[in-house]
Amino acid sequence: MNRISIVGAGPGAPDLLTIRAQNRIQNADVLIWADSLVSPEIIEMVPKSCEIIPTSSLTLEKILPLLIDRFNQGKKIVRLHDGDPCLYGALSEQICRLNDVDIEVEVVPGLSAYQATAASLKAELTIPGLVQTIIISRASGRTGKPYKENLRDLAALGASLCLYLSARHVEEVQEELLKHYPAETPVAIGYRISWPDEWLEIVPLQDMAKTSKKQKLIRTTIYLVSPALKRSRKRSRLYAEDHSHLFRQRKGP
């Protein structure tokens, strides 16, 4: 059965693609890609005969007929998004409309920007006794963020907070976060993580906006705000000697 493959390209570096994503790209007849965010190095993997269509200047009304037309020609289509398609990728609106015309899709996951950033930092975002929750959100920009998800309330949890699409609003973001996180809370600012020009720095929350402005960050920037970014030697129960579980008996009395 033919279907359209919606594929996560990961954060940028081609060797961070999943094997399944690489396989779909290498066998595509048509590749419709988010050219403002996906690395051109990944596009080089398509076969010579592949039709390549960038989407940065297209609307959904332009993209859908392309997908439907090429699908009806029996082509193998890859719709390539950056990171993981489940996050800020306009996935749902495409799948609903394709299903309306009886076109099936598969979704191939990708590594999201927050995961690649944590890896670059060699950081664990869930440290026992310190923080066990990760929130993924964004600044309230132009795209319908529900009011009850406002940053002030999210910050009240003190969790590891991963902020996408927020560099343009960094001053108001910092102001909101400072209402709950201490001013010295570490914030990792990551620009084009895993690209050749990656820039990544940890600063105190109170310097988040100042540093972003100084670096002139507007696009492709992620913020990880987390008490976990201060290295911690706190122990998990998982590997504790006095803790038993299905695969290991506890030592001692």
Alpha-helical runs (H) found in the chain:
19-26, 40-43, 60-72, 91-100, 113-121, 151-155, 170-177, 208-214
Rule CB under 6 A: choose which of 55, 105, 190, 205 binds ligand SAM.
Answer: 190
By the rule CB under 6 A, 14 interacts with ligand SAM: no
For the bound state, the minimum distance from the C-beta of residue 12 to ligand SAM, rounded and expressed in Å, comes to 5
By the rule CB under 6 A, 84 interacts with ligand SAM: yes
Q: Which two tokens stand for residue 83?
A: 């990171």
Q: Which two tokens stand for residue 211?
A: 């540093």
By the rule CB under 6 A, 220 interacts with ligand SAM: yes
Residue 55 burial (10 A CB sphere; 0-12, 13-18, 19+): buried
For the bound state, the minimum distance from the C-beta of residue 83 to ligand SAM, rounded and expressed in Å, comes to 2
| Residue with smaller CB distance to ligand SAM, 213 or 248 | 213
By the rule CB under 6 A, 37 interacts with ligand SAM: yes
By the rule CB under 6 A, 88 interacts with ligand SAM: yes
End-to-end CA, the chain: 59
Rule CB under 6 A: choose which of 38, 208, 222, 224 binds ligand SAM.
Answer: 222
| Residue with smaller CB distance to ligand SAM, 45 or 222 | 222
Residues 64-83 close enough to bind ligand SAM by CB under 6 A: 81-83
Site size for ligand SAM, by CB under 6 A?
21
Rule CB under 6 A: choose which of 11, 21, 181, 186 binds ligand SAM.
Answer: 11
The window from 60-68, 97-105, 127-135, 190-198 that contacts ligand SAM (CB under 6 A) reads: 190-198
The residue type found at 109 is P
By the rule CB under 6 A, 181 interacts with ligand SAM: no
By the rule CB under 6 A, 176 interacts with ligand SAM: no
d(CA 118, CA 127): 13
By the rule CB under 6 A, 186 interacts with ligand SAM: no
The window from 25-33, 87-95, 101-109, 127-135 that contacts ligand SAM (CB under 6 A) reads: 87-95
Residue nearest ligand SAM (C-beta atom): 83
The residues of the shown chain that bind ligand SAM, judged by CB under 6 A, are 11-12, 37, 81-84, 87-89, 112-113, 164-165, 190, 192-194, 220-222
